[in-house]
A = this chain, B = another copy of it.
Amino acid sequence: MGSLLAELHDAVGADGVLTDADVTAAYRRDMMPLAPYGQPLAVVLPASAEQVRAVVRACARHRTPIVPRGAGSGLSGAANAVDGCVVLATVRMNAILEVDPDNRLAVVEPGVVNLDLRGAVEKHGLFYPPDPSSYDWCTIGGNLSTNAGGLCCVKYGVTTDSVLGLDVVLADGELLRTGRRTVKGVAGYDLTRLFVGSEGTLGVITRATLALRPLPQAPATLVAAFDGTAAAGAAVSRVVAEGVVPSLMEIMDRTSIRAVERFLKTDLGADGALLLCQSDAGGEAARRELAAIGQACESAGAVLVYATDDLGEGRDLLAARRAVLPALEVYGAWLTDDVCVPRTRIADLIAGCERIGDEVGLRVAVVGHAGDGNMHPTIVYDPSSEDEFVRARRAFDEILGLGLALGGTVTGEHGVGKVKREWLAREIGPVGLRVHREIKRALDPGNLFNPGSMFEL
């Protein structure tokens, strides 16, 4: 047995192995400031499933952990290096292997950027729904590993709802094929969905067969302003109860509104909360959906409701929502939660976040996917102040506790990674944790893949 680095060179070629600390620094962590990260032995950039298999076999022989990684846009530390590990980044495996419009599916390698896939299938009149906010640079492999969401989820679900099958390299280097190319199929356990969202702890995804949808109609947009979050929360509940399914339904709380108004130098016309909704049903159907949403908002106490099917105007209205994070950056660094609560508890969550912000003495802005209850309370802190960082961390944790107390989950779309392990344990309890460990041990007995992420073995 030679040295691991020599074997990695053999596996992926010299230009596929990075060891210079200046270069590997860019691969040490993702976008979550709270998660720990270590110093990798090397970063490898395999170009094929065969190369991934060779890397996995070499690391297994040397008992060196592998941390799989996409673009590093994650917000849980799941892709963060541990000391002495090999970071396996799939960015070179970025081919769209097939788009089959007649069966509405695509076959892709994991390094394909979400936006590139969207563009490629749009040419065929097709739609790949999952749209995490990093869609212009995150990769499908990362989306699969974290089961990424986005703005589309209220109508189109999360990543797992668009996956038909996977190729996965297992801990002994064998290649597992899961799923199928057909719309339906119940042959055996649903291994596809076991690997989706497993955050690189069970294997390395080297190929995915994805289900596509017909391209929806251009969206019509509605904005509703409320004096307080209770009324906005009630409006969401009414929309849900009345059976309307918008293609987008976002909420901004008072703190978000104020930050954006100052940032964009505009008046959003709302003191307490703003709802932004879209329908992609097209024409008369879209107008009917937005009318029903408008009525629900008015009867819940909206002070202003405005709808338009002008695309440019719709984009301008949505710009306020998209400006929240840049607007908050004016005040400092941000730290975002992604708790998901039952849709009836959104107002309670926002009120609780306001209270937590007051307690820790930091700005907490809540923005989120109201249509599915997945909220992003975002804590603003001064990154140069250790004290503020500690308070931000406290607020981050208290919001997770609040989400659980409201009947929700600690993570709606970002994942557990290295930052919410204790919270995963709290949410799923000892039996749930035991089952996680049993599955991990069964598939990865040497704890080769992403050790210490999600849970300690």
Contact = CB atoms under 8 A, between A and B. Distances in A.
Interface string A409-423: 111111110001001
A372 interface: yes
A149 interface: yes
B186 A415 contact: yes
A126 B242 CA distance: 10
Stoichiometry, copies per complex: 2
Which of A125, A242, A342, A343 has the most chain B CB atoms closer than 10 A to its own CB? A342
A102 interface: yes
A175 B434 CA distance: 12
A203 to B, nearest CB: 9
Given A147-B186, A409-B187, A240 B102 contact: yes
Interface residues of A, number: 87
A174 B431 CA distance: 7
Contacts of A176: 431-432, 435
Interface in A94-145: 101-104, 125-126
Interface stretch (A23-31, A41-49, A438-446): A438-446
Given A175-B431, A189-B194, A432-B191, A372 B411 contact: no
A429 B168 CA distance: 14
A373 interface: yes
Nearest to A408: B182
Interface in A174-214: 174-178, 180-191, 193-194, 196-198, 213-214
Interface stretch (A6-14, A59-67, A153-161): A153-161
Interface string A233-249: 00001001111110000
Contact of A441 (B160, B373, B412, B442): B442
A340 B103 CA distance: 13
24 contacts: A102-B237, A102-B240, A102-B344, A126-B243, A154-B183, A158-B186, A176-B432, A177-B428, A178-B432, A182-B408, A184-B409, A184-B413, A185-B412, A186-B197, A187-B420, A188-B436, A189-B197, A189-B439, A190-B197, A191-B435, A214-B245, A281-B285, A284-B284, A439-B443
- Complex A-B, nearest 3 residue pairs according to Cβ-Cβ distance, in ascending order: A214-B243, A442-B442, A183-B372
